[in-house]
């Protein structure tokens, strides 16, 4: 479970609040969507939860542990983040994008890292794409590689920022089914999205954001 308590996030340039006094809970085994207009604070909230922004006030607790107290390795094993633009390394093949973090961060042997990456590729239905470079992958394929990379450390919490922005309806449906599978495994899944069809199809709960506030919580 992720618990957020009285979260404020300032704009680094103006000092005004991007997020204002946000308190909410994200439960395991559920897909929770953050919705709202562009600029509502959805991505900023996700980035705080992933500690990509650490200049916030308040507390973010992952299973009652303040995420600021986690080491870099502990954070990688606790929280996985999938960027809107995927951020795959173009010089590495799809599978190497997963193997490299496992070798660098967890210090796994190459054989162990390959085994873990291939298991994830099998689970996500992209085993046949292992040796392709990102430039030769479609948006949906890159999305699944990015999810595989985020899952390499088997994090308890998976955060996704606008994951359907580059996907067609078929790949959107595939993504939704994969998120349901991950939630069924007990993971806490949090998704920022403006794709209301996707939200309506896959949300277990929804937080409506606006002007840096959580305006409405829907179950």
Q: Domain holding 104: CATH number?
A: 3.40.50.300
CA 14 to chain centre: 28
Neighbours of 128 (CB within 10 A): 10
**Phi-psi region for residue 125, left (φ > 0), alpha (ψ -120 to 50) or beta?**
left
Which residues constitute the domain of residue 79? 2-218
Express each pLDDT in 145-193 by its tens digit.
999 999 999 999 999 999 988 788 888 898 999 999 999 999 999 999 9
Residues 101-127: what's their mean pLDDT?
A: 91
The domain total for the chain is 1
Pull the structure tokens for residue 167: 């996907």
Q: Smallest Cα–Cα separation from 164: which of 147, 150, 182, 149?
A: 147
| Stronger pLDDT, 40 or 61, i.e. the higher one | 61
Report angle CA 207, 211, 213 to the nearest 5 degrees. 45
Q: Which residues of 150-165 are buried (b: 16+ CB within 10 A; e: fewer)?
A: bbbbebbbbbbbbbbe
Query: Residue 136: is its pLDDT beyond 90?
Result: yes
The model's pTM is 0.90
What's residue 140's pLDDT?
87
In the DSSP assignment, the letter for residue 36 is -
């Amino acid at each position: 479970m992720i618990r957020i308590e009285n979260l404020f996030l300032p704009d680094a340039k103006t000092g005004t609040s991007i997020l204002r006094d946000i308190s909410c809970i994200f439960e395991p085994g559920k897909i929770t969507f953050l919705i709202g207009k562009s600029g509502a604070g959805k991505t900023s909230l996700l980035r705080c939860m992933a500690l990509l922004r650490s200049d916030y006030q308040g507390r973010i607790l992952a299973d009652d542990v303040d995420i600021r107290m986690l080491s870099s390795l502990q954070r990688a094993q606790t929280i996985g983040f999938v960027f809107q633009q995927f951020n795959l390394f173009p010089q590495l093949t799809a599978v190497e994008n997963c193997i490299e973090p496992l070798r660098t961060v967890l210090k796994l042997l190459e054989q162990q890292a390959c085994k873990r990456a291939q298991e994830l590729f099998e689970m996500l239905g992209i085993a046949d794409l292992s040796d392709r470079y990102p430039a030769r992958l479609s948006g949906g394929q890159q999305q699944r590689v990015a999810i595989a990379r985020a899952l390499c450390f088997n994090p308890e919490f998976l955060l996704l920022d606008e994951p359907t922005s580059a996907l067609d309806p078929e790949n959107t449906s595939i993504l939704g089914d994969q998120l349901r599978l991950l939630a069924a495994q007990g993971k806490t899944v949090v998704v920022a999205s403006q794709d209301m069809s996707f939200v309506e199809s896959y949300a277990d709960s929804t937080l409506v954001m606006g002007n840096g506030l959580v305006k409405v919580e829907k179950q």
